[in-house]
Structure 1
Amino acid sequence: MNASKNHTISKFVAKAALRVVIVLMALPVFMYFTKKESMLQHIVFPNKIALLAPLLLLVLFTGLLILMLRNKYEKIDLNWLFSLSSIFLILYLILFYIRIFPVV
């Protein structure tokens, strides 16, 4: 059974995006154990409503991750939706880490 080219590409992009997100989520754990000074010196979220967007993004990401892994990368639409949400999560994590870990 030959898969279409779009299915192969969507599967590859979804797997790559998942690996990048896992690496980006493991980065603060690594930074926490290697740095000596306190990392969270800044107030990152000034009010409670600022937590709503990141939490919704994380819930959307995990929901799509569960659906995609349950179908074992077979549905092209889920692969592309997961890839899009992964890209937004990757961008958010990069911007968040730039705010928390200032470049010295």
Structure 2
Amino acid sequence: MTQPLTSISGIGPATAEGFVRAGITTAEQLREIGAEAAYGAWIAAGNPPHFIGFYALHMALQGRPWNDCRGAEKAALRKRFDALKAGIAGKAALKDKGRARLDAALDEIGLRAKR
């Protein structure tokens, strides 16, 4: 039997909806692919990228509270988040080649409706 995403402590209804938009529909799927792949899918689906959400997801999958992330661990996760975000932005830029730079930038920060 599958468990809903919200069965993972720290994942509420809004976050679960974002993961469903990214094609991740169960807690088992989320645990299986892991935090980085899941957050990559989250961003690629058009959900807004936020560092706190990224590290909170890492903590949730470890059964830890979101505010348990500190110091060197948080700094390492920040580097991984920045690399993940840059990689996805790079792929989007290649896909959207020819679009106005302003449109692409607004899409990246979530200020334009998806077509």
TM-score (norm 1): 0.30
Structure showing greater radius of gyration is 1
Q: Which has the higher helix share?
A: 1
> Whose relative contact order is higher, 1 or 2, with alpha carbons under 8 Å and at least 6 apart?
1
